[in-house]
C-alpha cells in the first residue's frame, strides 16, 4: 500500500440509460466512503456526464468522460471538447483506452494531444496503457507499455504529470474474468512508474497515481490495492451495479 490517495473509478463504457444512471445515483447515495480515504469516480458516456454532475448531490463522486477530442471547437462532427467537460464540472477524462485504440484507431499521437488539451482546461487525464495477450506471452509487456507511456507523456510538464492518473490495463484481462495476478499488475505498474521516474525524476514518479484495470471485482480489489505500485483501479463490469460498485469500496470504510 502506497502513501498516495487511492483512486477507484468505474468505467461504464457504452452501458445504461438515463433512468438507470439516476437509479444508480440513488442507490449509492450517502454510501460512499469518506474522500479522505479514497477518491471515487464514474466514467460515463458523454450523454450522461451532465446528469451525473447535476445529480451526484453531496456524494464525494467525481465524474469522468470516457473519451474527449483534442480541439475545443470547429468542424469536428460528433466530438466532445475538453472545454465543454471543464465547463460542466467533469473532473477527469479517460484517454487511450484500449477499446478506443482498437476500434477507433486512436494513435499515441492523438492520445498525447488529448492529454495536452485536457490539462489546458484543468481536466485531469486518466491515460490508459496495456498490452495484448500475444505481447504478454512474448514477454514484451514492459517495452510495450513503456513506449505507450513515453509517447503519451510527450511534452507534458513535471507539474502536469504529477497530477496525472495512469491506468495499466492488460487487454487480455479486460472483460475476460481473467484478472492479472496482483504480482503481475504490481510489476507492470512499477515499470510505468520507472518510466515516469526516468523522464521526470523521483518526486513526480512518487506523485503520479497508477491504477490497475482488467476484471477487477470486489473479491480481488483488496489484494491488488495492497501492492506498492497500485494506487487504484479502473473497473468496467463490476462498476455497473451499485452493490458491486460499493463492494469495491468496502476496504475504505
Ligand X SMILES: O=C[C@H](O)COP(=O)(O)O
Contact residues for ligand X (CB under 6 A)? 11, 97, 169, 174-175, 213-216, 234-238
Please give the Cα distance from 211 to 156 (Å, whole number): 20
CB of 143 to ligand X, least distance (A): 22
Residue 90 · residue 49 · CB < 8 Å: yes
CB atoms within 10 A of CB 155: 9
Nearer to ligand X, 33 or 213 (CB): 213
| CB-based closest residue to ligand X | 236
Nearer to ligand X, 117 or 174 (CB): 174
Cell numbers 510538464: residue: 157
For residue 169, indicate whether it is catalytic: yes
Our CA angle for 173, 177, 179, nearest 5°, is 50
Residue 152 · residue 108 · CB < 8 Å: yes
CB of 74 to ligand X, least distance (A): 28
Going from the C-alpha of 128 to that of each of 18, 56, 94, 162, the distances in angstroms are: 27, 25, 7, 16
Q: Is 236 annotated as a binding residue?
A: yes
Q: Is 175 annotated as a binding residue?
A: yes
For residue 54, indicate whether it is catalytic: no
Our CA angle for 109, 114, 119, nearest 5°, is 130
Q: From the candidates 97, 99, 106, 131, which is the catalytic residue?
A: 97
CB of 145 to ligand X, least distance (A): 15
Q: From the candidates 39, 99, 131, 169, which is the catalytic residue?
A: 169
Task: Enumerate the active-site residues.
Answer: 97, 169
Instruction: List, as residue ranges, the binding site for substrate.
Output: 11-13, 175, 215, 236-237
Amino acid at each position: 500500500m502506497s502513501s498516495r490517495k487511492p483512486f477507484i473509478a468505474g468505467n461504464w463504457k457504452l452501458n445504461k440509460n438515463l433512468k438507470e444512471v439516476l437509479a444508480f445515483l440513488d442507490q449509492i447515495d450517502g454510501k460512499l466512503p469518506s474522500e479522505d480515504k479514497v477518491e471515487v469516480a464514474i466514467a460515463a458516456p458523454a450523454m450522461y456526464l451532465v446528469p451525473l454532475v447535476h445529480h451526484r448531490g453531496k456524494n464525494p463522486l467525481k465524474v469522468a468522460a470516457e473519451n474527449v477530442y483534442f480541439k475545443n471547437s470547429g468542424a469536428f462532427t460528433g466530438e466532445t471538447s475538453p472545454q465543454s467537460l471543464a465547463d460542466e464540472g467533469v473532473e477527469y477524462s479517460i484517454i487511450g483506452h484500449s477499446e478506443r485504440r482498437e476500434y477507433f484507431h486512436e494513435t499515441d499521437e492523438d492520445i498525447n494531444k488529448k492529454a495536452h488539451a485536457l490539462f489546458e482546461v484543468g481536466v485531469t487525464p486518466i491515460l490508459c496503457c496495456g498490452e495484448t495477450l500475444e505481447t504478454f506471452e512474448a514477454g514484451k509487456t514492459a517495452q510495450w507499455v513503456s513506449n505507450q507511456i513515453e509517447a503519451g507523456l510527450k511534452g507534458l510538464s513535471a507539474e502536469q504529470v504529477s497530477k496525472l492518473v495512469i491506468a495499466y490495463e492488460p487487454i487480455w484481462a479486460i472483460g475476460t474474468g481473467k484478472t492479472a495476478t496482483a504480482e503481475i499488475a504490481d510489476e507492470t505498474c512499477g515499470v510505468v512508474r520507472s518510466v515516469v521516474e526516468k523522464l521526470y525524476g523521483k518526486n513526480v514518479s512518487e506523485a503520479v497515481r497508477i491504477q490497475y484495470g482488467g476484471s477487477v471485482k470486489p473479491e480481488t480489489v483488496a489484494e491488488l490495492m495492497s501492492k506498492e505500485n497500485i494506487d487504484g483501479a479502473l473497473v468496467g463490469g463490476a462498476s455497473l451495479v451499485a452493490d458491486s460498485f460499493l463492494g469495491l469500496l468496502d476496504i475504505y470504510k
